[in-house]
Structure 1
């Protein structure tokens, strides 16, 4: 049996809204677009953490068998040097486990970032075309564990025809 295929959609703020925000530069020179409200939810006793990662590229189609979430804090990815990248999100079922049958995936340009709401199941940083670097901002620390990883039945992220 072939793994289910999930088509990569173009960036869509409305479709992504239940999972977080697309971080888009303002169209008007001299203007600012604020996303600070996405970072207000955080664990007591935590502190902001900013790091830069280095991600090796994958090729389409992308095979996915693992996802993660951060139940208590938002996580923001800002491309520093990325050609294109893949974002996949999914809601939780009634028991808080991932619901892969409801997964959405997006093909993102390197000029747009994303911010995941707390508790959103998502694919780890996945770049295409060449190695990439993201600045990642989130809260860490406090009494609650905030990294959850799950293995899921394999699925394949594919480009739309």
Structure 2
């Protein structure tokens, strides 16, 4: 069993970037009417790849959540930007010699997104409320950019 943690830039840094508007904007634009939080994600699309923007609609899940599958993308990063104010669950795991280590679960705050670094083991998109609508920025290009791992026994994720 793993317990859900609050999402923060510090605790999530080994796995990726927290995308939010914490702190003051880096600069004001549009005649001072718009704050810009500049260059917040370590986007990486690898050799021969390019950024693609897709829209995902995932079915909501509930807690406790049985985690049985994680995946990773060896050729590029992947950013999840919710298109609602609903929090969602982000599950990640360190790499241990090509296999996922002990998972960690994070709950986003309203309006937060995440960017997963290239090769980061992560759970599937896990909204906790409908609609599970997200903009996803990831690698478009040649090659197989997906590796999956199924846990022989599901790991229960709880609040």
Q: How would you bin the TM-score normalised by the shorter chain? A: 0.7 to 0.9
Aligned-partner SS, 2:96: coil
Length-normalised TM-score, structure 2: 0.87
**Is 1:97 paired with 2:96?**
no
Q: 1:17 to 1:157 in 2, by over 3 A?
A: same
Gaps of 5+ in 1: none
**Is 1:83 paired with 2:86?**
yes
Superposition pairs of residues 1-150 of structure 1, within 5 angstroms: 5-28=1-24, 30-35=34-39, 38-39=42-43, 41-94=44-97, 96-99=98-101, 102-142=102-142, 144-150=143-149
CA contact (8 A) 1:85 1:108 kept: yes
In 2, the alpha carbon distance for the partners of 1:105 and 1:36 equals: 21
CA contact (8 A) 1:43 1:141 kept: no
CA contact (8 A) 2:57 2:132 kept: yes
Length-normalised TM-score, structure 1: 0.86
Higher helix share: 1
Deviation at 1:82, TM superposition (A): 4.8
In 1, the alpha carbon distance for the partners of 2:35 and 2:71 equals: 34
Gaps of 5+ in 2: 26-33
Deviation at 1:27, TM superposition (A): 4.3
Q: Which residue of 1 aligns with 2:155?
A: 155
Q: 1:14 to 1:27 in 2, by over 3 A?
A: closer
In 2, the alpha carbon distance for the partners of 1:138 and 1:117 equals: 10
RMSD over aligned CA atoms reads 1.6
Aligned-partner SS, 2:139: strand
Aligned-partner SS, 1:14: helix
CA contact (8 A) 2:41 2:115 kept: no
